[in-house]
Amino acid sequence: MEFDALFKWLYNTTLAVTIRENDSLFPWIESIHVIAIALVIGSIAIVDLRLLGIASLERAVSRVAHQTLPLTWIAFIVAAISGLILFTSNALAYAHNFYFQGKMLLLVLAGLNMLVFQFGIYTSVAKWDLAQRTPFAARIAGALSLLFWTTVIVFGRWIGFTLLPTLGS
């Protein structure tokens, strides 16, 4: 199936039509999405700032991660679901929007950074868990994470300013 055909199908689903035709549904879903994203980025920033040696220096990296990342995952799931629901309301226009495409690419890069950190750098955390100055690779992962997530916010915000009107019928 061609992607545009899939996007047109999504656009014509009952869910998408309901969101488009209801004056308050989109803003409510968008509000949930924004709150979830704020929780995702805020909780990730706590870990990243610890990795960078800026905050929570008296706490073990593993403890900071263990205490914050469950919230991150719950918020990420809520953000992903609400984002997908919002996407259906104007799927074709979103799919062709530069800032939406950039946001999706940045989410992939943030995910790859997390995977490299989790399955590479973090495997040796026992050696540097209590160190105020984490290894260079951990600091780079934290800095990249902050960069990627900050630009996710910026690109996400610009979507609303640059999105073309409804394109799907």
Q: Are the beta carbons of 128 and 61 closer than 8 angstroms?
A: yes
Q: How far is CA 83 from CA 28, 30, 41, 77, 103, in A?
A: 12, 8, 15, 10, 12
Q: How wide is the angle at C-alpha 108 spanned by C-alphas 140 and 78, nearest 5°?
A: 110
User: What type of residue sits at position 75?
Assistant: A
Give alpha helix (H) positions in the chain: 3-11, 14-21, 25-51, 61-88, 91-95, 98-119, 125-128, 136-162
pLDDT tens figures, 37-72: 999 999 999 999 999 999 999 999 999 999 999 999
Q: Name the pTM for this structure.
A: 0.87
pLDDT tens figures, 95-150: 999 999 999 999 999 999 999 999 999 999 999 999 999 999 999 999 999 999 99
